[in-house]
Amino acid sequence: MQKLGTYQKMQEHITATEDGIKKLLTEQKGEVLFGDYDCETVGFIYFYQNSSAFTGQSGLYIDGFLIDTALRGKGLGGIMLAFISKLALERGCKRLEWGCLDWNQPAIDFYRTIGAYSLDEMTIFRLSPDQLAKNAGLF
């Protein structure tokens, strides 16, 4: 996650700890796929299952995806996305979703080559832990 935060120019926002990630995985709130090359882990996809009341369907959501810089463009990302696509279908999911920062044109270009499209008409909103507490205090 630290590598991903650095690449995304958001390292100061990465607060995940090894224990926190282990807890998510142990409690089955998330899953991870690792991409290995020459017996070394050089990529990962962290994901979880979600659902949509709008479509009445389930899907997988990729919350973190990174291939080490030296191996980008060599096919590992495509292999990993093919694997998770197959996994989604095996689980009866109707979609695979993820976010991508607007400035990350190489990733956007790659995603479009595999047939992914963006939902440009939607903005993601988020409440921080402090705002969650403040809003929870309203009731």
**Is the Cβ–Cβ distance between 33 and 40 less than 8 Å?**
no
DSSP 3-state assignment of 88? helix
Contacts of 16 (CB under 8 A, 6+ apart): 1
Indicate which residue of 37, 46, 111, 117 is catalytic.
111
Q: Which residues contact 101 (CB under 8 A, 6 or more apart)?
A: 8, 107
Distance CA 73, CA 12 (A): 27
The verdict on whether 48 is a catalytic residue reads no
Between the alpha carbon of residue 126 and those of residues 1, 70, 121, 129, 130, the distances in Å are 19, 33, 17, 10, 11
Active site members? 111
